[in-house]
Structure 1
Amino acid sequence: MLTKWGIAAGLVAAGITVTSGQPTFSPPPDAPSFEFPLPTPGPPAGEDDPPIIEPVPPSTGQPRPTRPPGVPVVLPRSVNIQLKLERDGSLSVTEQVIVGAKETMNRTAPLRIGERVFTVREAKVEGNGTAEVSGENLVIRLNEGASTVTYKVDGAVADVGDHQQFRWQAASGWDTKLIFVRTSLLTPKPGRDFVCLAGMAGTEDRCDAAVTDAGGILRVVHSNLDADARVDISAVLPAGMVPVTATFVGGAAGVGPFALTPLSGAGLGLVLLLLIGGFAVVLTARARDTRALAAEGVPVDVLVGAGERVAFASPDGVLPGQAGTVIDERVDPRDLTATVVDLAVRNYLWITEAGQDWQLVRRNAADDALTGYERAVYTALLPEGTDAATVSGLRENPPALDGARSAVYADAVSRSWLSRKPTGLGKVGIAGVGLAAVGAALTAALALSGGPALLGVAVLIGGVGLVLGGRLLPARTRRGAVLLQQVRGLHGYLRAARPDKVPAADRELVFSRSLPYAVALDETAQWLERNAPTFTGGLYWYGTQDQRFDQRKFADRFTALVHELDGVFGKR
């Protein structure tokens, strides 16, 4: 061990390598120089001490001469290199190059190594030469004398699994053999598992000597590096020590922002589990909705009251225009027609015959008792300042009812019968769009910064899954499925109810309140056939041109009115 230390120390202290016929060169007095001490041998390293790579003496087979005392000797074609990894992830490089008299040394260092791309900036030379970036190469041209080259490198740090990895070719692309190369690497925190390779690209030969001192600084010594060969240094660094700067092109395996690391793998696995769980929720909800559609309606008691008096009450307070929407999740013209009839029954409108036409007359202004969609229908038929409108006029100039249709859906959502507009995204879909946007932005940001971009991809996939899941979920909620069965029970009542089951004093009101539901559920003709004959004095919300109310004629005219109103609402 001490013998090896002595050899390496001798190499560095002398700063020379002698080859047959190699001239020496004395730099000018103001030439830059580097301090390059080796660590002093001490007691064995403990578990927490920086790792030490024992130096291996150069295997030239030639004896090492000693330098005469007091005679400074610096060899031409020698390079001293200082590497300092900054806290922002960039690598500061300083190279002192000694060029022999009447000689030149040129370096064309590749900035793309495999799939990894490095970026060099702020290259400059103090001395006799130039440095620039040309395409994918760092080009240095030096003439005789001692010159100092400085530049910064981006791309030397990558995330690999649970740690960071440093890599840079300290010497590469020189057009002449380097007699002596000395390199030091300083990082913000000590690294480990240092590897120093020297030789032509692709070879695995180790550098002559590579040691770390007590401060964790790596120091490398190598002699006789062939032209176009490289000194390639890599090290393992603590995770998150500096920002990741590495850039990869062409999909480098196992590295780069899109590498599958434990962290990104855990994120993708979590998203997969959530997608599986969401898929199960979607299947359960669709199965529930399918059963609700196939099941028979449940009996409902729509006649409520005390004693001998009764009144009509719809299940869960559903309105005629909402009943049809809950069944087929669509606002049909018939739903709006039923709403107009219901507004008349509730004394907001007066419907009166006008020859072969009908007139809708304002009776009471829209108030807070109306829902949003009922006010929208009322306003569309009779705008502010209009007290009456004919059905034929409305058919020629159909009112704009998009707002009314949207209001029907909004009202059903507010009552928790529907989770969303059937053609819309709903809360789940909107959340998915937002999450997908965050995932896309996160992916781009992590990819540009060299971070674990697959985490952003995982978030993006989760957002897309929410969007698709929101569209696949049935719009009808669990409460809506229950109401569907109740509406079918109401439909059954309309088909089977007989007027003699209702006290005579309440028949007109029960008949009138239930008629809009018969319109919405396409039971108008049957309901009129069974119930209209019981009325001889007319209806409080419908006016005829006859002095005496004709039940049969009313049934025919009302059926025609429903058809005409369907035409009004079906044109837009």
Structure 2
Amino acid sequence: MNRVWRSLLVLLLSFGWLAAVPTAAHADDSDDRVTDYKVVATFDASGTAAVQLDLSVDFGDTEGHGPYLVFPLRQEIAGDLDHWRMIDVQVGQVTSPSGADATLESEESDGNLVIRVGSEGRTFTGIQTYQVNYTVKGLIAARQATSGVDEVNWNALGDGWKIPVDRAEVTVVGPVDVTRTGCFSGSLYDTPCQSAHNGTAATFSAENLGDGSGMQVVAGFPAGTFTDVAPRYTKRYTVQNMFPANPYTISVTALLSVLGLGLLIKRTRRRDEVFVGLTPGVVPAPGQQATVGAADGDAPVAVAFTPPKEVRPGEAGTLLDNVADDRDVTATIVDLAVRNQIQITQTAPEEWTFIRRFNAEDQLADYEEELLERLFAGSNRVTTEDLRNESYAGMLTEVRGNLYRRVVDLQWYQANPSHVRAAAIGGGIALIVVGAGLGFLAGFLGWGLIGLAGVIVGVGVLARSNHFGRRTATGSAVLAQTKGFELYLTTAEADQIKFEEGIDVFSRYLPYAIVFGVAERWTKIFQELADQGRYTFNPYWYAGYGFAPRLDQLGSSLNSLGSTMSSSLQAATAATSGGSGFSGGGGFGGGGGGTW
């Protein structure tokens, strides 16, 4: 388990060594260079090398703190994506013969040991010399099949140097005589460089290195020279081995996904209560006993020629899909206009004016009173442009919230559907996060793919978050009535319209048509009736722009009214959330950096 957490930490620190490397604007923007890079590495029979590195760093006229060195602690293995070959490095004494600051700081990050020489408060110019002593183990390739010898195979100067290195000299000293040598330089280590050997020592040299060009030295010793030099490997975690797609992981992931989605569908499939034994849409009479049970599938819908009794359009829209949306708010405003509480006047293609009227004979619900008070808080005359003012910030959210509370107060829901949906969304996000996290941890065991099941189910919960609300038996009965009336408005033709004495059926039912999304269809039917002389529209609640008394253009105008109101009210909310740049406190974008 400790290895798992160590590996997890390594993955979380990916690319972290880049942050540890000093990058203040000095080295990359100056002419700093290493004039001499001299290494003497003495190997004992166990393959451990005691290394002395002498650096001459020329800072020129630009002040610099000191050098930094990056030592790799692990290495990729050709053809093996599942393991790292490890290199053990221990840094010892660091000095500066020239008197520069030799304070040492080191940090391990992303498979590298990064050391920084120098201090923040001290800088130097010109040529400064440094001596770094360290030990390294893991550079021996024992008894190679192609060469037949034990090899010291070492990138003595790595290709990650960011400044030029004029000349590098490397000496390798072994416990017995060297039998052969090799030297290569360049970014791909494919350019031969000078090498020689004499007795137990091998020497190597190259020029014009650094800036991505390194130096590889190879010294051969008789097979068996080095003991206890078997490579040390650790697990290498990659996408391929953490999230392998094989018959086992795919089967388990598919099984978990199917089980999770099955439970989700079961949990969200028509969980509403109903009155058992009663026709859908029928509510028990006062004092009548009725058994309440769970709904078993969708109830049949019978056409209803009138809306549910005492059910307002916005309430019906919220009950229909568990959501109080912009369409329900628009329908509520139009309904208030039809009931002579508001006069709506369209003054331009996308501009409207609302004038407050007072119909004492009309009884308002609490949420309707609050909507009117909020809409006409400052004046009895309001335009859609006025709604962009900050004083209307949050109005849309408040109206929706009042509609949710209304359907709960009417005992149509067991709990506020907006709260239930928010909890479902939170649960879906949690499932995605937990699934991803568990998948990541399981990846250390090669089973990371199973975390995808949690992600899939979490996405499913988000997609069905609107289906977690549970209607009461009364709510289900009203829903059946609402769907019956919706069926009527969406299918009735002009010759099937049933008029009611003393009621302007067109205006009375128009807000419901808005809720059901068939306002344009409804207005076209009545335009057809008007053309036949069977209906006369008395626009007492709406003064139209452009369509005059023609109804077939009113539907699209009302749709525009809803979107314009929503846009204006959202703009009012946005106006309260920003600040001026002249007040300070930060702006957009930014960043910074530099070198050591």
After TM superposition, the score normalised by the length of structure 2 is 0.35
Q: Which has the larger radius of gyration?
A: 1
- Larger RCO: 1 or 2 (CA < 8 Å, sep 6+): 2
